Homo-oligomer: A and B are copies of this chain.
C-alpha cells in the first residue's frame, strides 16, 4: 500500500496529544457513591509485533480472545512504541468503564458489519447482535468491539457483552462560568457547542468486573486492519468454486425440481457453481431436524452425486434450534441452554462437547455425502421486529449467559460446522447470519433478510474494517433496473448469490412473485436473462483476480473488499463514501442504484482507467455518472495487470483457465496470486509483451490474449 498516514503525523506528537487526553479523563473523575468502584491504570504490554494488551480489573473467563478457536498468526514487524498512552479503567457495580483518548482530527471506523453508517465518530455504538436494526445504534448481524482510527491504530475490547462505545460525543461537565450574555442579541439556537479539541472514546462493558483491551499499531489504517486480521488467524482463502456463482432454489423444491433447474442453467449457460437448498429439505423446519425429507429427496446421496456430475455443489440451509423429532435432540438435550427457540433446543456452542455432537452429526450425515457448505440462519437475535430468540438471561452449561451467547453464537456455530470440513481435509464456503470478533479466518459470508440496497452496499463497505465478509444477496427487485443494479453489485462481493427461496423460477424469468410461482413468465424474459447471464459472467471473469485478493487476505490480512477510507484515510471526504469500494488493491467499484438520478464519484488522486472502455480517467476530480450508464461503474488503477478468466458454466471447467489479460497504462504493477496452499499465478507486462507463470493450479492458467489500454 502506498498511502501511509504515519508520514504525516509525528508519533511523538500523537503520543503527547493522546497522553494529555488520558490524563484529563482521569482528572475528570466522578462524583457518585458506588462503594465498590475501583480505578485501574491500564499500562500496555506487548503481546505480538505491533500489538499490546492491558488488563483492567478481573476480566471474564469467556471472551472472544480467551475462548478463541483459531490460533493467531503473526503480522508484520513493528518496531515502534504502543500508539496509545496508558488508559484509565473503572470497575463499578454496573460493569467496566474505559476512557480511551481521541484527538480532534481522528475519525473512527469499524464495529463490524454496519448498515447505517461508515464513519463512527460521535456515534453511540452498542455491540449487540440483532437481525433487524432499524436505526444507527450499532446493532447488527455481526457487531465487533473493534474500531480503527485514522491516526493509525485500532482498539479491540475483548468482551462478548453488549459493550457500548461513545465515540467522542461525551464530554465532562463544564467547570468555568461565563459572563452573562445579556443583550448580546440573537441567541445561537439549536446549535450545539463546538466539539472540544480533545475528547475520549468512552466504553462501557456491562456486568463484567474487568476486561482486557488490545491495541493494534499501523502505521497505516490498512496496516491496523491487517494486523487485526492476522491476530484473528489470517483471512479466509475460499475454494475456487466458492468464488463462482450460487443460486438458492425455492424452499419446497424436490430433488427433481432442483436437478431440472440445474440442467436448465447448464443448457442456457447460466454460470453456477453452488446450488442452495432452503428449509424444505428437512422433515421439519422451524425448529430444524437436519434429517432429509424423503418425500422430496428420496435419495440424498444419489442427488448430491448427480449434482456433482453436473459440476454443481450443494449447500444446505439450516438454523441451530433442534426440533424434538430431530436425531440430534436426544444427544443435544443436555448441551443446550435453559430456554428453547421455536420449540427447539439452543445448542451450547460455547461447549466443545456440544460442538462435537452437533457438528459430528453434520459431518457423518451430510459432509460425508458431499454437501459443500451450509447456510446458518437465525443465529443472531431480534429486538426490533418480533422477539423470537432466547432471552439474555438464558444460562448455558459452558458458563455463558444469553447476552454473551448472542454475541458468540454465530461464530461458534460456524466453527461447529467448519470443523467437520477441517478434520476431513475438505474445503467449505458457506453463509451465516451472524458473526463477531476474530472472524477473518472463518469460511462463511454474512447475509441478511433486510433488503435496502444502499444499506446492503454500505454493509459491504463497512465489513472490511472488522474481518467479516458480506453478501449483498439478490432476492427480488422492484424493476428490471433494480434487478440489474443489485446483480451488478453482488458479483463484486465476497459471495455472488441469488436467493430464490420463495420463487420457483429465477427472477429474470418473472419478477412478480405470484406469477413466477404460477409459472407465468414475463414476455421479455430472454432479454433479461441474457443481461443477467452477462453480469454473472463478469464474476466468472474476475475469479483469478479475486483469488489474488483473497490470497493476500490469508497471507497478510489485507481485506479483499474495503472502503476508500481504508486505503486513503488522509482524504477526509472518503470517511463518508459508503457507496463505493475497492475490490483488491487495483479495482474500484461505484455502483448505481435503481430509481436514483445517477451518482457522484471522486476517484482517489492518480491515474485510473474505466474498466469497460479502458479510457483514462483522472482521479481527484468530481464526476457525475448518469443513471443510464449500462454497466456498473468500475475503475482500474493505471499500471494494473488484470487477468480475466474465460466465462464457463462453472469453475470446474478447464477452459476458464484461458486468460485474457488487460494491461492498463504502463502495466508496471505485476499481477500475482500466491495462495496459502502454494499455488501461484503471476502475469507480468514488460512494456511490450507479457509473460504468465502458473504453478500448482490444475489445470494451469494460460494467457490467450494480452490487451493494452494506454
Flag whether A643 is at the interface (Cβ < 8 A): no
Which single member of B94, B391, B401 contacts A403 (CB below 8 Å)?
Answer: B94
Contact with B along A175-192 (1 / 0, CB 8 A): 111111111111111111
> Is A286 within 8 A of B188, CB to CB?
yes
> Is B291 within 8 A of A182, CB to CB?
yes
A295-B170 contact given A31-B397, A193-B342, A399-B32, CB 8 Å threshold: no
> Is A172 within 8 A of B338, CB to CB?
yes
Flag whether A562 is at the interface (Cβ < 8 A): no
A188-B285 contact given A30-B395, A337-B173, CB 8 Å threshold: yes
Quick one: closest B residue to A191, CB to CB?
A: B286
A294-B173 contact given A32-B399, A134-B134, A285-B189, CB 8 Å threshold: no
> Is B285 within 8 A of A339, CB to CB?
no
Nearest CB on B from A692, distance (A) = 50
Which residues of chain B have C-beta atoms less than 8 A from A31's C-beta?
337-338, 395-397
Please measure, in the bound complex, the distance between the C-alpha atom of A388 and the C-alpha atom of B179, giving whole angstroms.
25
Please measure, in the bound complex, the distance between the C-alpha atom of A193 and the C-alpha atom of B345, giving whole angstroms.
13
| Stretch of A73-81, A322-330, A473-481, A585-593 lying at the B interface | A322-330
> Is A170 within 8 A of B403, CB to CB?
no
Please measure, in the bound complex, the distance between the C-alpha atom of A285 and the C-alpha atom of B384, giving whole angstroms.
34
Flag whether A283 is at the interface (Cβ < 8 A): yes
Flag whether A206 is at the interface (Cβ < 8 A): yes
Please measure, in the bound complex, the distance between the C-alpha atom of A643 and the C-alpha atom of B306, giving whole angstroms.
83
> Is A34 within 8 A of B401, CB to CB?
yes
Flag whether A657 is at the interface (Cβ < 8 A): no
Nearest CB on B from A204, distance (A) = 5
Quick one: closest B residue to A345, CB to CB?
A: B173
Which single member of B183, B192, B339 contacts A294 (CB below 8 Å)?
Answer: B183
> Is B187 within 8 A of A284, CB to CB?
yes
Flag whether A486 is at the interface (Cβ < 8 A): no
Which residues of chain B have C-beta atoms less than 8 A from A178's C-beta?
323-325, 329
Please measure, in the bound complex, the distance between the C-alpha atom of A550 and the C-alpha atom of B449, giving whole angstroms.
48
> Is A286 within 8 A of B387, CB to CB?
no
Which residues of chain B have C-beta atoms less than 8 A from A400's C-beta?
32
> Is A340 within 8 A of B177, CB to CB?
no
> Is B94 within 8 A of A190, CB to CB?
no
Which single member of B30, B93, B122, B283 contacts A182 (CB below 8 Å)?
Answer: B283
Q: How large is the interface on A (under 10, 10 to 19, 20 to 34, 35 or more residues)?
A: 35 or more
A173-B339 contact given A204-B393, A401-B94, CB 8 Å threshold: yes
Contact with B along A364-395 (1 / 0, CB 8 A): 00000000000000000001110110111101
Flag whether A3 is at the interface (Cβ < 8 A): no
> Is A397 within 8 A of B325, CB to CB?
no
| Interface-central residue, A28, A134, A403, by most chain B CB under 10 Å | A134
A329-B171 contact given A280-B189, A343-B192, CB 8 Å threshold: no
Which single member of B34, B252, B346 contacts A189 (CB below 8 Å)?
Answer: B252
Which residues of chain B have C-beta atoms less than 8 A from A210's C-beta?
none
Which residues of chain B have C-beta atoms less than 8 A from A4's C-beta?
none
Please measure, in the bound complex, the distance between the C-alpha atom of A216 and the C-alpha atom of B605, giving whole angstroms.
69
> Is B325 within 8 A of A180, CB to CB?
yes
Which residues of chain B have C-beta atoms less than 8 A from A339's C-beta?
170-173
Flag whether A202 is at the interface (Cβ < 8 A): yes
Nearest CB on B from A298, distance (A) = 9
Flag whether A166 is at the interface (Cβ < 8 A): yes
Which single member of B93, B174, B295 contacts A183 (CB below 8 Å)?
Answer: B295
Please measure, in the bound complex, the distance between the C-alpha atom of A365 and the C-alpha atom of B209, giving whole angstroms.
47
Flag whether A207 is at the interface (Cβ < 8 A): yes
> Is A176 within 8 A of B324, CB to CB?
yes
Please measure, in the bound complex, the distance between the C-alpha atom of A175 and the C-alpha atom of B333, giving whole angstroms.
7
Please measure, in the bound complex, the distance between the C-alpha atom of A94 and the C-alpha atom of B391, giving whole angstroms.
13
Flag whether A282 is at the interface (Cβ < 8 A): yes
Quick one: closest B residue to A251, CB to CB?
A: B189
Nearest CB on B from A406, distance (A) = 13
> Is B123 within 8 A of A393, CB to CB?
no
Which residues of chain B have C-beta atoms less than 8 A from A169's C-beta?
387-388
> Is A137 within 8 A of B383, CB to CB?
yes
Please measure, in the bound complex, the distance between the C-alpha atom of A399 and the C-alpha atom of B36, giving whole angstroms.
13
Flag whether A164 is at the interface (Cβ < 8 A): yes
Which residues of chain B have C-beta atoms less than 8 A from A337's C-beta?
31, 173
Please measure, in the bound complex, the distance between the C-alpha atom of A283 and the C-alpha atom of B179, giving whole angstroms.
11
Nearest CB on B from A694, distance (A) = 46
Quick one: closest B residue to A164, CB to CB?
A: B392
Please measure, in the bound complex, the distance between the C-alpha atom of A323 and the C-alpha atom of B206, giving whole angstroms.
31
Which residues of chain A from 421 to 455 have any CB-CB distance to chain B below 8 Å in the complex? none
> Is A28 within 8 A of B393, CB to CB?
no
Q: Told that A132-B135, A135-B135, A182-B283 touch, could you supply 9 new A-B pairs with CB distance under 8 A?
A: A32-B395, A34-B399, A92-B401, A122-B387, A135-B383, A186-B252, A186-B295, A188-B286, A192-B343
Q: Which 8 A-B pairs rank lowest in CB-CB distance, beginning with the nearest?
A: A32-B395, A193-B343, A124-B387, A135-B384, A173-B340, A178-B325, A181-B283, A134-B134
Q: List 9 A-B contacts (CB under 8 A).
A: A30-B395, A31-B338, A94-B207, A94-B403, A136-B385, A172-B339, A180-B283, A181-B325, A193-B287
